Amino acid sequence: MPKTESFLTIVMYHYIRDLKNSAYPEIKGLDTALFCEQLEYLSRHYTCIDPKDLMSGAKLPPRAALLTFDDGYRDHYETVFPLLREHGIKGVFAPVVDACAKGRVLDVNKIHFILASVPNANTLVRAIDAYLVAHNELGIRGPEYRASMVKRRFDTIEISYIKDILQKALPLDARIPLIDELFTRHVSADEADFAASLYMNNAELRELREAGMSLSVHGSTHRWFSSLEPEEQEQEICESIRFLEGLGVAEEEISITYPYGDYTDETLAIARRYGIRLGFTVRQACARLPGDERLTLPRFDTNDIPKKRDA
C-alpha cells in the first residue's frame, strides 16, 4: 500500500507587538490583537503539532499546522510565549547568536528600524544615492538600479531599493558603515542597549525550551548563506548549534531555519553532516509529507493566513 500523503501548513512570524503603543509603530509587524485572532482561527481550523512530532516522523493529523518565530525577538518571549501556552501550542523559535548572546543588533533589524524611524522613504533613498555617488568605484547607480527593479509583495520600489542596497547589493565592507551611520543617526547610538531591549536573552530562551518549545539554528550573524563560502557557512551553522546545545537543546532535536530563506546545495550538505533533519525556507506552499525534502520545507507568512477568528 502506498503511504498516505499529509499536508502541513507552516506559518512564519517575526515582530508581534502592540504596534500603536510601541516606540516604533511603523515597524512592519503583526499587532498582538491580530495575532490573538489568528491563533483562534488556527485553533479552530487546524491542529497545531509539536515540532518534535515532525522531527520524529510521527503521523500528522488532518489539517496540521506548525508555527515558527524567527530572529529571537523579545516579542516572542513577552507576547507570543504566554499566548502559546494558553492555547497549548508548541512552536519553533529561531534565535541568532550575535543578537541574543553578544548584544549586537542584526543588520536586517537595523534596516527595519531605520525604515520605521524615517517617515519619508525618499529621505533614505537620497542618502543612499549620495553615498553611491561618493563611492563611485562600487559601480552602482541608484536611479538605474531602481529602474530595473520589480515591485515586491509587501514593499514599494523605494523600500525594496533601500533593502536591496543595504542587505546585499553593496559589498559587506561598504554596506556596514552605511547601515551603522543611518542607524546611529535615526535610531540609536547605543547598540548594546537597543539589542538588550529587542532580543531574548539566554535565560528566556532556556525557559522557552524547558516549556517544550523548540529552538532552531538561525546562524550566528544572520547573513545570506549564498553569499558565503562553504567554510563560512559551516562556521555560521556550527556556532549556532553550539549556542543551542549550551541552552540544553539535544543534538537530535536541532532544526535549521535559513536566514532570509536562503541556502545552497552546500548548506544542505553541511546540515546533513551535522545531523540536522528539518530545515525551514520561505517558499510559499503547504509542505507535502512524505514528498517534500525535509531540509527545505516551505512556509507561509503570517500575512497569508486569515487574521479573524471567524474567517
Place of cell 540536522: 276
Phi/psi for 49 (5° steps) reads -95, 160
Least confident of 1-5, 18-22, 254-258: 1-5
Q: Are 208 and 215 in contact (CB under 8 A)?
A: yes
Looking at 39-43, 80-84, 85-89, 291-295, which range is the least confident one?
291-295
Residue 198 has pLDDT above 80, yes or no: yes
Retrieve residue 173's grid coordinates.
565592507
Type of residue numbered 106 = L
Mean pLDDT of 39-59: 94
∠ CA 40-152-167 to the nearest 5 degrees? 100
How far apart (Å, rounded) are the C-alpha atoms in residues 122 and 158? 7
pLDDT band, residue 27 (cuts 50/70/90): very high
Beta bridge partners of 178: none
- N- to C-terminal Cα separation, the chain: 37
The pLDDT-based confidence of 58 (bands split at 50, 70, 90) is confident
Residues 276-293: what's their mean pLDDT? 94
Q: Is the pLDDT of residue 182 over 90?
A: yes
So what's the pLDDT on residue 1? 40
Q: What is the CA radius of gyration of the chain?
A: 20
Average pLDDT of the chain, as a whole number:
95
Mean pLDDT of 175-181: 96
Please report which residue ranges of the chain form alpha helices under DSSP H. Answer: 32-45, 51-56, 74-75, 81-87, 97-102, 107-117, 121-134, 142-147, 157-164, 172-186, 191-198, 202-210, 230-246, 265-273
Average of pLDDT values for 152-172? Answer: 90
Strand 279-280 to 287-289 pairing:
unpaired
| DSSP code per residue over 66-84 | EEEEEETBHHIIIIIHHHH
What DSSP line would sit under 172-213, residue for residue? HHHHHHHHHHHHHHHT-S-HHHHHHHHB--HHHHHHHHHTT-
Q: What is the mean pLDDT of residues 123-140?
A: 95
Cβ partners under 8 Å of residue 67, min gap 6: 10, 11, 13, 42, 48, 84, 89, 91, 92
pLDDT of 3 reads 61
Assign 150 a pLDDT band (cuts: 50, 70, 90): confident
pLDDT at 32: 98
**Rounded to the nearest 10 degrees, what angle do helices 107-117 and 172-186 cross at?**
40
Alpha-carbon span 286 to 278, nearest angstrom? 15
From CA 204, how far away is CA 212, in angstroms rounded?
13
Q: Is the pLDDT of residue 98 over 70?
A: yes
pLDDT surpasses 90 at 21: yes
Q: Is the dihedral of CA 237, 242, 243, 247 positive or negative?
A: positive
49 has a pLDDT exceeding 50? yes
- pTM of the prediction? 0.94
Distance CA 261, CA 243 (A): 20
Asked if 234 contacts 272 with a C-beta cutoff of 8 angstroms, the reply is no
Give the C-alpha separation, 95 to 170, whole Å. 25
Give me 236's grid cell.
555560521
